[in-house]
C-alpha cells in the first residue's frame, strides 16, 4: 500500500524525482537531501510502512541485504573510511519522516560528524533488572 500524503511513498515510487542510486521492485535507494556526509543515502521500501514495527519480516531481510550490497559499492566508489547504518523509529528517537528508511552514512576521517550517545553507568543489579524486564 502507498500512503497518499507520504513524501517517501512518492519518492520511492518515482512520482517525485530523486537522486537514485539503485532501484528494484521493492526498494529505491536515494541520496539524502540533507546529508551528514558525502554519499549519505536512504533505503526506502516502495510500500508504506511507518517504521520498523510495521515492516514485515520478509522485507527486513531484503532491506539488510541491500544495505550490505550498497555499503560495499559505496565504500569502493567513494573510498570512505567507515560506514554507519542508522534507523530511527518514533519522534523521540529522531524520526522525522514516518515512512521506514535506513540511513546509509559513509564516514571519512575528520568528517567532523558524530553519531553517538552519552554512555550511562548502570550497576550490575540495574543491568540485571533491565534484562529481566525485557526477557520476563
Ligand atoms: P529521519 O530523521 O526520519 O530518520 O530521516 C529523514 C531524512 O530524510 C533526513 O535525513 C532528511 O534530510 C531526509 N529527507 C527528508 N525529506 C527529503 C526529501 O524530500 N528528499 C530527500 N532526498 N531526502 C529527504
Ligand atoms: Zn510512505
Element (H or E) spanning 44, and its range?
A: strand 41-45
Count of other CB atoms within 10 angstroms of residue 70: 21
Ligand 1, pocket-test mutation among 8, 12, 84, 97, most atoms within 8 A of CB? 97
**Alpha-carbon dihedral sign for residues 124, 130, 132, 135:** negative
Is 111 a pocket residue for ligand 1 (Cβ < 6 Å)? no
The grid coordinates of residue 50 equal 511507518
pLDDT at 2 over 90: no
The grid coordinates of residue 96 equal 522525522
Give the pTM.
0.97
Segment 98-108 shows an average pLDDT of 98
pLDDT at 1 (0 to 100): 83
pLDDT at 119 over 90: yes
Does 48 participate in catalysis according to the annotation? Answer: no
pLDDT at 13 over 90: yes
Report how far residue 87's alpha carbon sits from residue 50's, in angstroms, rounded to the nearest whole number: 12
Segment 34-60 shows an average pLDDT of 98
Amino acid at each position: 500500500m502507498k500512503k497518499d500524503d507520504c513524501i517517501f511513498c512518492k519518492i520511492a515510487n518515482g512520482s517525485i524525482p530523486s537522486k537514485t542510486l539503485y532501484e528494484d521492485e521493492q526498494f529505491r535507494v536515494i541520496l539524502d537531501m540533507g546529508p551528514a556526509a558525502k554519499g549519505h543515502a536512504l533505503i526506502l521500501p516502495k510500500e508504506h510502512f511507518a517504521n520498523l514495527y510495521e515492516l514485515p519480516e520478509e522485507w527486513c531481510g531484503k532491506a539488510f541485504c541491500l544495505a550490505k550490497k550498497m555499503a560495499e559499492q559505496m565504500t569502493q566508489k567513494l573510498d570512505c573510511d567507515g560506514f554507519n547504518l542508522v534507523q530511527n523509529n518514533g519522534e523521540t528517537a529522531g524520526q522525522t519522516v514516518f515512512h521506514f528508511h535506513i540511513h546509509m552514512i559513509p564516514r571519512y576521517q575528520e568528517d567532523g560528524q558524530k553519531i553517538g550517545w552519552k554512555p550511562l553507568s548502570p550497576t550490575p543489579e540495574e543491568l540485571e533488572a533491565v534484562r529481566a524486564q525485557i526477557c520476563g
